[in-house]
Amino acid sequence: MPSASVVAASSLGVVTLEECLKTRRSRREFCWDPLSDDELLRLCWAGQGITGPGGLRTAPSAGGVHPLELYVVSATAILHYEADADRLAGMARGDHRPALCTAAESQDVIGLAAATIVLVAVQGRMDPRYGARSRRYELMESGHVAQNILLAATAMGICATPVGALDDGAVRDVLDLPPSHTPVYLVALGHSSDRRRMSVSG
Ligand SMILES: Cc1cc2nc3c(=O)[nH]c(=O)nc-3n(C[C@H](O)[C@H](O)[C@H](O)COP(=O)(O)O)c2cc1C
């Protein structure tokens, strides 16, 4: 199981925000190199890291409710980002990427990614406060979180592509989550390599 130790997410690089905004692209050219635990943790922190009092985070959330959870599917494990501790906790061993790929319309971008971050909405967090509007807010917030991850990946020189074509139930099964948890968005990630490049169209 990958280390569950806390790694400080103090630096995402020295690239300016303007440069990140200018250069972010959906990149689907990945080499085989895995992302390190530290890289995965920093990307999750960018999406959902706690940065303020009362659990306020890097991404905004309606009413500060924070209905989203992040999971990582890598070549060796499924991990859960525990925002309170800023750590990745192991949920399952093994390479579940092929199953995740199947659950995402068999897109090569998921099959070839070193790791994919899965954004999951937890039903019941938003509902008491926002009722029928909750589902819409969850989707809006997933966009904020995904963009944070994409910009952080850009700053770190990591290739990333957001993927919305997924079968919620099938992804839920891959992660072995309860019915209250709805996968809403994926971010495929990997290192680029000119030497060992696998180019896929998307
Ligand atoms: C909501 C959403 C869903 C997307 N779904 C997919 C997808 O399923 N597969 C994929 O390869 N790219 C997907 N993309 C990435 C788009 O193809 C990409 O953003 C678009 O081609 C523009 O390119 P850019 O991101 O480099 O600006 C998605 C993007 C968004 C915003």
162 CA from centroid of ligand 1 (Å): 6
Among the listed residues 97, 78, 182, the one whose alpha carbon sits nearest the alpha carbon of residue 138: 182
Per-residue pLDDT tens for 139-164? Answer: 999 999 999 999 999 999 999 999 99
Residue 49: how many other CB atoms lie within 10 Å: 19
- Whether 171 is in a domain gets the answer yes
- Whether 2 is in a domain gets the answer no
- Whether 196 is in a domain gets the answer no
Spell out the per-residue pLDDT of the chain, length 202, in tens: 444 333 334 467 678 999 999 999 999 999 989 999 999 999 999 999 999 999 999 999 999 999 999 999 999 999 999 999 999 999 999 999 999 999 999 999 999 999 999 999 999 999 999 999 999 999 999 999 999 999 999 999 999 999 999 999 999 999 999 999 999 999 999 998 653 544 444 4
pLDDT the model gives residue 155: 95
Among the listed residues 185, 172, 61, the one whose alpha carbon sits nearest the alpha carbon of residue 119: 185
- Whether 30 is in a domain gets the answer yes
- Whether 5 is in a domain gets the answer no
Dmax (CA) of the chain: 52
pLDDT the model gives residue 11: 63
- Whether 32 is in a domain gets the answer yes
Which domain covers residue 114, as residue numbers? Answer: 17-190
Question: Which residue, by CA, sits nearest to atom 11 of ligand 1?
Answer: 202
What's the residue count for the chain?
A: 202
- What Cα–Cα distance (Å) separates residue 137 from each residue in 45, 90, 142, 183? 21, 28, 8, 14
Tally the domains of the chain.
1
The CA distance from 83 to 121, in Å, is 15
pLDDT the model gives residue 14: 78
pLDDT the model gives residue 193: 67
Question: Which residue, by CA, sits nearest to atom 25 of ligand 1?
Answer: 26
- Whether 35 is in a domain gets the answer yes
Select from 161, 167, 187 the residue to mutate for testing ligand 1; criterion: most ligand atoms less than 8 Å from CB: 161
- Whether 1 is in a domain gets the answer no
Residue 28: give its domain's CATH number.
3.40.109.10
pLDDT the model gives residue 32: 84
